[in-house]
Homo-oligomer: A and B are copies of this chain.
Amino acid sequence: MQDVLKRPDIPACLRICAGTDGSITQLLEVLTGKSVKVETISQSVVKASPRIAGLLDIEPGDDVNDRLVTLKVDDIVYVLAKSLAPISRIPGGIRDDLMRADIPIGRILREHKLETRRDILNIRIVHRDFFGELPVLSREYKIIYENKVLMWINECFPVDGRWGK
């Protein structure tokens, strides 16, 4: 287990949310007892830079869906999530859902009955201007589908009392 997930100064519910290999939206809804709302900050199709191509195991210049959203409950931001998905790997039936920005990814995978796995790459404490002076727990992971990277995701969680104690 990553050392950061053992830190007693990080609320247990946040450590659990950051450590799961399942849907984060689902855990947030259980934690708060309410529906999670996805709000888009930006969404566009970009050409993969060499760095992005490396993350996704595609060719530089390939089309990638680049999405930045927040997950909110009652106007409180719990997660800032950036995702990169190679357009050509998104199964036709879920492309519209995945490129719309207002449906949580876990829910899309579940509703379309996709079999996947999530490989957590790293978890660490970072700074993000979005959250001001708060410490931020960041994790990167890949969603793997048919042995290829369907999506690279970076989730950032503000570390404070919104997660309980």
Contact = CB atoms under 8 A, between A and B. Distances in A.
A114 interface: yes
A27 B31 contact: no
A131 to B, nearest CB: 22
Contacts of A114: 117
Number of copies of this chain in the oligomer? 2
Given A110-B117, A117-B110, A1 B30 contact: yes
Interface in A1-33: 1, 5-6, 12-13, 15-23, 26-27, 29-31, 33
25 contacts: A1-B30, A6-B33, A13-B16, A15-B30, A15-B31, A16-B17, A16-B30, A18-B30, A19-B26, A19-B27, A19-B29, A20-B22, A20-B26, A21-B22, A21-B26, A22-B22, A22-B118, A109-B117, A113-B144, A115-B115, A115-B116, A115-B144, A115-B145, A115-B146, A116-B117
